[in-house]
Amino acid sequence: MKKKVTKIGVLTSGGDAPGMNAAVRAVVRTGIYHGLEVYGIMRGYNGMVDNDIFRMEGKSVANIIQRGGTILKTSRCKEFFTPEGRKKAYENLKKFGINGLVIIGGDGSFRGAQTFSNEYDIPCVGLPGTIDKDIAGTDFTIGFDTAVNTAVEAIDKIRDTADAHDRLFIIEVMGRDAGYIALHSGIATGAESVLIPERKTDIEAIIKQLAEKERRHKLVNLIVVAEGDNFGGANEVGKIITERLPMQDVRVCILGHIQRGGSPSCFDRLIASRMGYSAVECLLEGRHNVFVGIVNNRMHYTPLNEAVKKKQRINEEWMKIVKILAS
Ligand code: ADP
């Protein structure tokens, strides 16, 4: 029989994402609603290993729903990769009597949670907090919508100057392993091409397409590149296009960390609140070692070990849409 969960810890881990605070708030308030003791764990798994754990009340999460970043801080924790580090973490949790954990983070953080819950009798529930949306088992991750809207806003501004000067802008957005920010923002801003890590970049085809449009005097002004595209990112793409098409006035713009920050969008606050509420319900109902997602607007639960294995897949039709709409 599964033991009853009475004291829960919540932490944010890995890369930060806007909406993490809204998720923390939902976990804390739902926990308190159900009469649980709730503890905040600072700086991801580091707080578990170093015993940086504190009791949270309803008011601890006042006025944070609209704030980017995470009040619990986040980090990567080398020690948690080792059995000794995880043992220390377990002993610290035991000191507080914590017997359930909510982990808000990406697939790496879920891997950590999976390993930990295999070794120790502390059930874990994950919430997907990552701007990259690179976790299978959920249509959306907390932070993606905000990040992609930030990218769209920035690219729209760049489009104005691109248009005024008839320039070609190569814009790099975040996504080392996943092209969702590039694909969504590229379609939403009418980009000519979108280059993503999931597809091999065919630079010759892009040059051919640009040359053909040059002949037609079509004003081509935006290419969106995910930082992890296999050609080497926007700088490399910019370099070769400048060499091969000297008539084009090429500029490169790397959006960088502005995509991580800022006040979360309504959508991210909403899914963070629904997921945070659901995580606590999972712990109480004995649905353990899963992560909470949303599929077709319904809560969806995936075992942590499966979340770790599967990746979302890029829909081929979306790539076709980019091509057709840019012709
Ligand atoms: P994200 O959650 O954003 O994918 P990381 O991949 O950096 O971020 O993972 C966050 C943390 O999760 C790591 O620093 C480490 O503490 C923990 N972690 C990741 N993978 C494992 C693993 N296989 N075993 C134990 N801990 C892990």
Tell me, in angstroms, the distance from the centre of ligand 1 to residue 80's CA: 8
Q: List the structure tokens of 285.
A: 């109902």
The pLDDT tens digits of the residues spanning 161-178 come to 998 888 999 999 999 999
Among protein residues, the one whose CA lies closest to atom 13 of ligand 1: 76
Domain check: are 215 and 296 in the same one?
no
Domain check: are 192 and 111 in the same one?
no
**Is 91 within a domain?**
yes
pLDDT at 308 over 80: no
Tell me, in angstroms, the distance from the centre of ligand 1 to residue 44's CA: 9
Give residue 92's region: left, alpha or beta (phi > 0; psi -120 to 50): alpha
**Is 320 within a domain?**
no
Domain check: are 236 and 211 in the same one?
yes
**Is 51 within a domain?**
yes
**Is 228 within a domain?**
yes
Mean pLDDT of the chain: 94
Domain count, the chain: 2
Domain check: are 84 and 139 in the same one?
yes
Cα–Cα distance for residue pair 250/314, rounded to 1 Å: 28
pLDDT confidence tier of residue 259, bands split at 50, 70 and 90: very high
Of 260, 276, 298, the residue at which a domain comes to its end is: 260
Which one from 16, 52, 121, 132 is the annotated catalytic residue?
132
CB neighbourhood size of 55 (10 A): 11
Rounded to the nearest angstrom, the gap between the alpha carbon of residue 59 and the centroid of all alpha carbons in its chain is 27
**Is 197 within a domain?**
yes
**Is 287 within a domain?**
yes
The number of the ligand 1 atom at minimal distance from the alpha carbon of 110 is 2
Of 225, 245, 260, the residue at which a domain comes to its end is: 260
Domain check: are 238 and 117 in the same one?
no
Domain check: are 116 and 157 in the same one?
no
Closest C-alpha among 61, 50, 129 to residue 85? 50
First vs last C-alpha separation in the chain: 61
Residue 13 CB–ligand 1 contact under 6 Å = yes
pLDDT of residue 326: 85
Domain check: are 117 and 159 in the same one?
no
Tell me which residue range forms the domain holding 249.
145-260
Closest C-alpha among 92, 102, 99 to residue 122? 99
Domain check: are 287 and 188 in the same one?
no
Residues 123-151, mean pLDDT to the nearest whole number: 96
* pTM score: 0.95
pLDDT of residue 287: 95
**Is 327 within a domain?**
no
pLDDT of residue 306: 86
Beta strand pairing status for 298-303 and 290-295? antiparallel
pLDDT confidence tier of residue 220, bands split at 50, 70 and 90: low
Cα–Cα distance for residue pair 162/169, rounded to 1 Å: 6
Cα–Cα distance for residue pair 185/176, rounded to 1 Å: 16
Contacts of 139 (CB under 8 A, 6+ apart): 293, 294, 295, 296
Instruction: Provide the CATH number for the domain around residue 297.
Output: 3.40.50.450
Instruction: Provide the CATH number for the domain around residue 152.
Output: 3.40.50.460
Domain check: are 37 and 116 in the same one?
yes
Tell me, in angstroms, the distance from the centre of ligand 1 to residue 81's CA: 8
Domain check: are 136 and 283 in the same one?
yes
Domain check: are 106 and 171 in the same one?
no
pLDDT at 263 over 70: yes
CB distance 291 to 126 below 8 Å = yes
pLDDT at 1 over 60: no
Domain check: are 137 and 112 in the same one?
yes
Pocket test for ligand 1, best of 78, 111, 114, 131 (most atoms within 8 A of CB): 111
**Is 134 within a domain?**
yes
The pLDDT tens digits of the residues spanning 42-73 come to 999 999 999 999 999 999 999 999 999 999 99
Residues 188-200, mean pLDDT to the nearest whole number: 95
132 is catalytic: yes
